[in-house]
Amino acid sequence: MTDGTQAIRAIVNGQAVEAVVPIRMLLVDFLRERLQLTGTHVGCTFEGVCGACTVRLDGDAVKSCMLLAAQIDGRRVTTVEGLARGEEPHPLQKAFRDAHALQCGYCTPGILMNMSEFLERNPAPSETEIRAALVGNICRCTGYSHIVEAVKDAATNMRIVEGRAA
Amino acid sequence: MFPAKIDSLSRPKTVTEAAALMASADEGNVLTIAGGMSLMQAIKARVVRPGAIVDLNDIGELRGIKETASSVWIGAMTRYVELATSDVLKSGAFGALSDAASHVGDRQVRNRGTIGGSLCWNYVAACVPVATLALGAELELMSKSASGADETRVVSIDDFIIGPMETSRLPQEILRSVTLTGPGKRMGSAYRKWGHVTDSLPVVGIGVRVVLNDDRTCKAARVAIGGLSHGSQRFYEAERRLLGASSNPTAISDSFRSAAKTLEIQSDTLASADYRKVLIEELGTAVVLSAMTRAEEAVR
């Protein structure tokens, strides 16, 4: 098509999605406005530095404001709404609640999506590694200490669940 | 919606298909997109308004790192995370590229951004062009001729990088690969940068590749610097002064201080010229010592 729109078919949070979108539509706008998945937030809106819009694209943590919705055709996207297993929150979500790792909560979905991939790749990270991994997510409440604690706790809890704890 | 209207988005599966799309489009109206970490910012700000976009993300043949006896082939769509975690690039001769890729932006950027995208965008203060200049890479570009035949040309990174945001890539050409020669005997490389926040764009970034003599003195050096107003560039005077040098921090530091006099160093909102000179000296020394250590470890 060359009329500025494109048909897309993708899997979003495990569900098949079909839509015709303007090619210029950003993925974050598609998720929020078309699919009503408003857990994916818009912070910096343009530079791609705040990380609030982070989602998983075929497993990789990416910023959804830096992609066109048309680019997810044929791909799998997971947003924060798809992180929990039914009623059971993800270990990161539990740890964020328990460690008071959110104040206003605006940055939280992006951090959860980034850290969920990070912990899959690095199940036993050091504090330095966690801090380095959080570079792409800005928290304006500046509650980073509790966020780091929560990621640490989640890593520990996930290892216990999987029987990998020392 | 921030971007201006985009009429079409193509997602070719092969380089030949992509090149054909570029050849058939109106010049100036079509852009290729790689990771999009820079281009999407420009599209959202309407600095560029492409009518057509050719998305290279589905082209499998553009991805991967392959090692041969005397070189390493890197597909242009290989992402930073793959460069940063590659055992082939981790140390020794190619460490500069691994160093650079490991600290570009943040995890999300490294999951998406590519070596080819960074080289073709050639931002004034980018890490990968500097590291690639230090490594003396060869770049393979592909396009379709008017008759539809595949045309390939190979250019050295020195001829590819022209100035800030300018390369010798023609609008219809697609960067296919980056080939690094080596590892050679006693060859080591490294890259370091300094920016205002962790892993940010560099105020100054320096890449070095050295080859050492048997007595561990410097036999050959390639030095590149980024963050200055001329963009990523070779630092020839530093190269000249490093010849014969040993791993003496004071002497290397003196060399960079003297060599910096040959550079045009600007003052801007990020740093004063004097501050940049200190960075050049400090980073230059650290990066040469790191490259020399890696060269000694890679005796073969």
Query: Which residue from B57, B112, B198 is facing A66, i.e. has the nearest CB?
Result: B112
Looking at chain B, the whole-number percentage of residues with pLDDT higher than 70 is 99
From chain A, pick out residues whose CB is under 8 angstroms from the CB of B6.
4, 22-24, 68
Q: pLDDT-based confidence at A162, cuts 50/70/90?
A: confident
* Total number of domains in chain A: 2
Would you say residue A148 lies in a domain? yes
Query: Which residue from A45, A61, A66 is facing B36, i.e. has the nearest CB?
Result: A66
What pLDDT is stored for residue B1 in this prediction?
Answer: 55
Q: What is the rounded distance in angstroms from the CA atom of residue B196 to the CA atom of residue A36?
A: 37
Of A65, A82, A99, the residue that ends a domain is A82
Residues 6+ apart with CB under 8 A from B215: none
Q: What is the rounded distance in angstroms from the CA atom of residue B211 to the CA atom of residue B187?
A: 4
**Are B108 and A136 inside 8 Å of each other by CB?**
yes
Looking at chain B, the whole-number percentage of residues with pLDDT higher than 90 is 93
* Nearest chain A residue (CA) to B112: A62
pLDDT exceeds 60 at position B222: yes
Would you say residue A68 lies in a domain? yes
One domain for residues A10 and A77: yes
Q: Taking every pair of C-alpha atoms in chain B, what is the biggest distance, in angstroms?
A: 62
- What is the interface size between A and B, counted as CB pairs within 8 Å? 92
Residues 6+ apart with CB under 8 A from B257: B277, B280, B281
What pLDDT is stored for residue A11 in this prediction?
Answer: 98
How high does pLDDT run on average in chain B?
A: 96
Would you say residue A153 lies in a domain? yes
Q: Residue A57 forms beta bridges with which residues?
A: A60, A77
What pLDDT is stored for residue B91 in this prediction?
Answer: 75
Q: pLDDT-based confidence at B2, cuts 50/70/90?
A: confident
* Nearest chain B residue (CA) to A114: B108
Give chain B's domains with CATH numbers: 8-55 (3.30.43.10), 62-181 (3.30.465.10), 187-297 (3.30.390.50)
From chain B, pick out residues whose CB is under 8 angstroms from the CB of A142.
none
pLDDT exceeds 70 at position B213: yes
pLDDT exceeds 60 at position A81: yes
Q: Which range among B32-36, B144-148, B238-242, B251-255 shows the weakest confidence by mean pLDDT? A: B144-148
| CATH number of A39's domain | 3.10.20.30
Would you say residue A166 lies in a domain? no
| Predicted confidence (pLDDT) per residue in B92-146, tens digit | 999 999 999 999 999 999 999 999 999 999 999 999 999 999 999 999 999 999 8
**Are B40 and A23 inside 8 Å of each other by CB?**
no
B47 touches chain A (CB under 8 A): no
* Interface predicted TM-score (ipTM): 0.95
| CATH number of A155's domain | 1.10.150.120
| Predicted confidence (pLDDT) per residue in A41-55, tens digit | 999 977 899 999 999
| Predicted confidence (pLDDT) per residue in A88-114, tens digit | 999 999 999 999 999 999 999 999 999
What pLDDT is stored for residue A142 in this prediction?
Answer: 87
Would you say residue A121 lies in a domain? yes
What pLDDT is stored for residue A166 in this prediction?
Answer: 46
- Among positive and negative, which fits the CA dihedral B163, B165, B171, B174? positive
Q: pLDDT-based confidence at B298, cuts 50/70/90?
A: confident
What H or E segment, with its residue span, contains residue B115?
helix B115-121
One domain for residues A119 and A153: yes
What pLDDT is stored for residue B28 in this prediction?
Answer: 83
B37 touches chain A (CB under 8 A): yes
pLDDT exceeds 90 at position B57: yes
Q: What is the rounded distance in angstroms from the CA atom of residue B103 to the CA atom of residue B122?
A: 17
**Are A4 and B108 inside 8 Å of each other by CB?**
no
| Predicted confidence (pLDDT) per residue in B145-174, tens digit | 989 999 999 999 999 999 999 999 999 999
pTM of the model as a whole: 0.96
Per-residue tokens: A44: 């910096």
What is the residue range of A45's domain?
A: 5-82
Query: Which residue from B1, B9, B45 is facing A26, i.e. has the nearest CB?
Result: B1
Of A61, A82, A103, the residue that ends a domain is A82
**Are B108 and A54 inside 8 Å of each other by CB?**
yes
Summarize the confidence of residues B43-66 as an average pLDDT: 97
Question: Do B232 and B165 contact (CB within 8 A), yes or no?
Answer: no
* Nearest chain B residue (CA) to A55: B108
Q: What is the rounded distance in angstroms from the CA atom of residue B25 to the CA atom of residue B174?
A: 14
One domain for residues A62 and A28: yes
* Nearest chain B residue (CA) to A56: B108
**Are B2 and A4 inside 8 Å of each other by CB?**
no
